[in-house]
Structure 1
Amino acid sequence: MSILPHHHHLHHTTTIRHRRHHHNHRIYYAVTTPIKTRPKLEPLVTTTTPIITSPKADDPGLKSTWSHRAWVATGCTTVLATLASSVVGSANEHMWIEPVLSGFMGYLFADLGSGVYHWGIDNYGDASTPVFGTQIDAFQGHHKWPWTITKRQFANNLHALARVVTYAVLPIDLLCHDQPVVMAFVGMASGCIMFSQQFHAWAHGTKSKLPPVVVALQDTGVLVSRSQHADHHRPPYNGNYCIVSGVWNRLLDELRVFEALEMILFFKLGLRPRSWSEPNSDWTEEAEDSPATFSHDTC
């Protein structure tokens, strides 16, 4: 709001001289007349907020590129090589129970890790954040238009995690290739983490459009189900973050683990999580054919 400057009144003195001859004395009269100056008006400044329209189902940004496919192929090869190393090592050492249990622990670790990562990028940072900016922008925008994840092509959806898995797992393979228990854990954990975005996409799909095997895995709790993940997209938007199997969601939410972490970060670092400001228009879900737009003011 502009504040106009105060009106200043300048007094201009006009001297009117009247000369009267009275006993040889001159008498002068002074009359002052106030003159108002025109106030200086500051230019009106208006701020505009960029408007982002709803994405289209055929948006090129949802399509896979050859670079995406190459990274997914590299990531899958890395994961398969890790699991194969575990199988070969287990056969050579004639042990199976330990690698199987280790692989199961890797599966549980992946679900927990997906929840922690999902919570972090949902609540902190934005598109300009180094390293994680693209993922943060995608996940935060996902709350506005969750249906877009079902329109993303396979490699487009997985390439970012495939790249991370490739860089992280290859050094471990070189160092621990002769340790089947370690390879089982790393192979299962990295595979579930890389495919977690596909599990996430399936959790937004309808059963009639999903492969029967996927529906069976969701119904048995091996993969996160649509009904379970739907709670993440309802107010207050601060739970059910895990997107591999969702097995950790109930425990984490009942113990308020993420709420405790938010309080620690707020009091120690002054970081305010995005979920504290919800619900607002940023996370009000819009349908695929909604013409609505929203202001890009996410934190």
Structure 2
Amino acid sequence: MRIPPTTRSDPSLKSTWSHRAWVASGCTTVLIALANSIMGAAESHIWLEPILAGLVGYVLADLGSGVYHWGIDNYGSAETPVIGPQIEAFQGHHKWPWTITRRQFANNLHALARTVTFFVLPIDLACHDSILLGFVGVCSGCIMFSQQFHAWAHGTKSKLPPIVVALQDAGILVSRPQHAAHHRQPYNNNYCIVSGVWNEFLDTQNVFGALEMILFFKLGVRPRSWDEPNSDWTEETETSSQVALP
């Protein structure tokens, strides 16, 4: 039985020095890509292509966050190799969504920062193309910070920094109302958590529903979203979680 973190002082919500080191490494990796892209653009006097590449990276990061979120929301379990802990965390997030607002910054981002370091650092070292580096830098940066954007989408407007609220209202970051729909029945929409720009298209075209049908007929695997919502999907308040614990 999964037990939610119960207080801000819970050790599972706090950042460790290992978490901070990975976030520092991820941020450095992203900044190297962006700096090299800017320097390459300055040397070649070609700015439009790297900027457009960065914009494409931003848009595709949102799509990637949605596909990944859909996958781990609906398939696998804590016992799944490699990503089992992430699956358990995302599936448990529906029951205890408030825990993400209690997590310290590096605690929330370290897993994605580690992935970004491993995949992007070799590109930083081997690539000198300002266009590719612009794409990689923005895309990987948005992916790494997607969990922070996600946490802000669960935040209270009055407690969020004004710049974050402004970016949410402008649609640059996923908004609180849009993500709130993901936590209401039927729990099978609004998966994207960077800007949410893909959510309307993916949901109206039933893209994930089609993928679920393909996986079911090919592999015989049912997604969790096909089952009637039960207590695993129903939000439990922080107070009731604390009362329920022995």
Same fold, TM-score > 0.5, yes or no: yes
- Give distance in 2, aligned partners of 1:123 and 1:223: 24
Q: Is the 8 A contact 1:54 1:290 kept in 2?
A: no
Q: Deviations over 1:75-118 (max 9, x none)?
A: 00000000000000000000111010000000001000000000
8 Å contact from structure 1 (residues 125, 136) kept in 2? yes
Structure 2 Cα separation of the partners of residues 261 and 84 of structure 1: 38
More strand by share: 1
Report if the CA contact (8 A) 1:78-1:170 is conserved.
yes
- Which residue number in structure 2 is paired with residue 189 of structure 1? 139
Q: Is 1:244 equivalent to 2:194 in the alignment?
A: yes
- What are the within-5 Å matches in structure 2 for residues 1-299 of structure 1? 51-57=1-7, 58-176=9-127, 178-291=128-241
Moved over 2 A (4+): 51-55, 291-294
Letter in 2 for 1:249: N
Q: TM-score, normalised by structure 2?
A: 0.96
SS in structure 1 of the partner of residue 132 of structure 2? helix
The aligned amino acid for 1:229 is H
Q: What stretches of structure 2 of length at least 5 have no aligned partner?
A: none
What secondary structure does 2:238 align onto? Answer: coil
Q: What are the ranges of 5 or more consecutive residues in structure 1 without an aligned counterpart?
A: 1-50, 295-299
Name the CA distance, whole Å, in 2 between partners of 1:175 and 1:53: 44
% of aligned pairs identical?
73
Q: Larger C-alpha radius of gyration, 1 or 2?
A: 1
| Bigger relative CO (Cα 8 Å, ≥ 6 apart) | 2
Give the 3 Å change call, closer, same or farther, for CA 131–54 of structure 1 in structure 2.
Answer: closer
Amino acid at match of 1:202: W
Three-state SS of the structure 1 residue aligned to 2:237 is: coil
- Which structure features the higher share of helix residues? 2
Q: Is the 8 A contact 1:219 1:225 kept in 2?
A: yes
User: Is the 8 Å Cα contact of residues 5 and 12 (structure 2) preserved in structure 1?
Assistant: no
Q: If the length of structure 1 is used for normalisation, what is the TM-score?
A: 0.80
- Residues 21-60 of structure 1, C-alpha deviation per residue, up to 9 Å, x if partnerless? xxxxxxxxxxxxxxxxxxxxxxxxxxxxxx4444302321
How far apart in 2 are the matches of 1:221 and 1:96? 25
- Cα distance in 2 for partners of 1:92, 1:214 equals 34
Alignment length, in residue pairs? 243
Question: CA-atom RMSD, angstroms?
Answer: 1.2
